[in-house]
Amino acid sequence: MTKFFSLLADGIALGAVYALVALGFVVIFRATGVINFAQGGLVVFGAFLVYQAEQTWGLPFWVSALFAAVCVAAIGAAFEGLVLRRMIGQPIFAIILITIGLFLLVEPITTTIWHNPPGGIETPWGLSRVTIGDVKILQVNIATVVLGAIVMGGFFLLFQYTKVGVGMRATAVDQEAALAQGINVRRIFALSWAIAGVVAVVAGMMLAGGAGPAPGLSVSLAVIALRAFPAIILGGLDSPGGAVVGGLIIGVAEVMTKGYIPDLIPSLGPEFGDIVPYLIMLVILLVRPFGLFGTTEVRRV
Q: Provide the pLDDT for residue 297.
A: 58
Please indicate, yes or no, if residue 186 is contained in any of the structural domains.
Answer: yes
Please indicate, yes or no, if residue 96 is contained in any of the structural domains.
Answer: yes
Q: Provide the pLDDT for residue 69.
A: 94
pLDDT along the chain (301 residues), means of 10: 83 88 86 83 89 88 94 92 80 84 84 73 79 80 87 83 80 75 83 91 85 68 79 84 89 89 80 86 87 65 44
Please indicate, yes or no, if residue 1 is contained in any of the structural domains.
Answer: no
Q: Provide the pLDDT for residue 301.
A: 44
Q: Provide the pLDDT for residue 117.
A: 61
Please indicate, yes or no, if residue 55 is contained in any of the structural domains.
Answer: yes
Please indicate, yes or no, if residue 21 is contained in any of the structural domains.
Answer: yes
Identify whether the C-beta of residue 68 lies closer than 8 Å to the C-beta of residue 49.
yes
User: Helix axis angle, 139-161 relative to 240-264, nearest 10°?
Assistant: 150
User: Helix axis angle, 163-173 relative to 185-208, nearest 10°?
Assistant: 110
Please indicate, yes or no, if residue 230 is contained in any of the structural domains.
Answer: no
Please indicate, yes or no, if residue 136 is contained in any of the structural domains.
Answer: yes
Q: Provide the pLDDT for residue 49.
A: 92
Q: Residue 162 contacts by C-beta under 8 Å, 6 or more apart in sequence?
A: none
- Which structural domain, as residue segments, surrounds residue 96? 10-225
Q: Provide the pLDDT for residue 72.
A: 94
Number of domains making up the chain: 1
Taking the alpha carbons of 265, 270, 272, 276 in that order, is the dihedral positive or negative? positive
Q: Provide the pLDDT for residue 2.
A: 78
Distance CA(171)–CA(107), nearest Å, equals 33
Q: Provide the pLDDT for residue 207.
A: 84
Rounded alpha-carbon distances, angstroms, from residue 231 to 19, 220, 242, 291, 295 = 7, 19, 8, 9, 16
Please indicate, yes or no, if residue 221 is contained in any of the structural domains.
Answer: yes
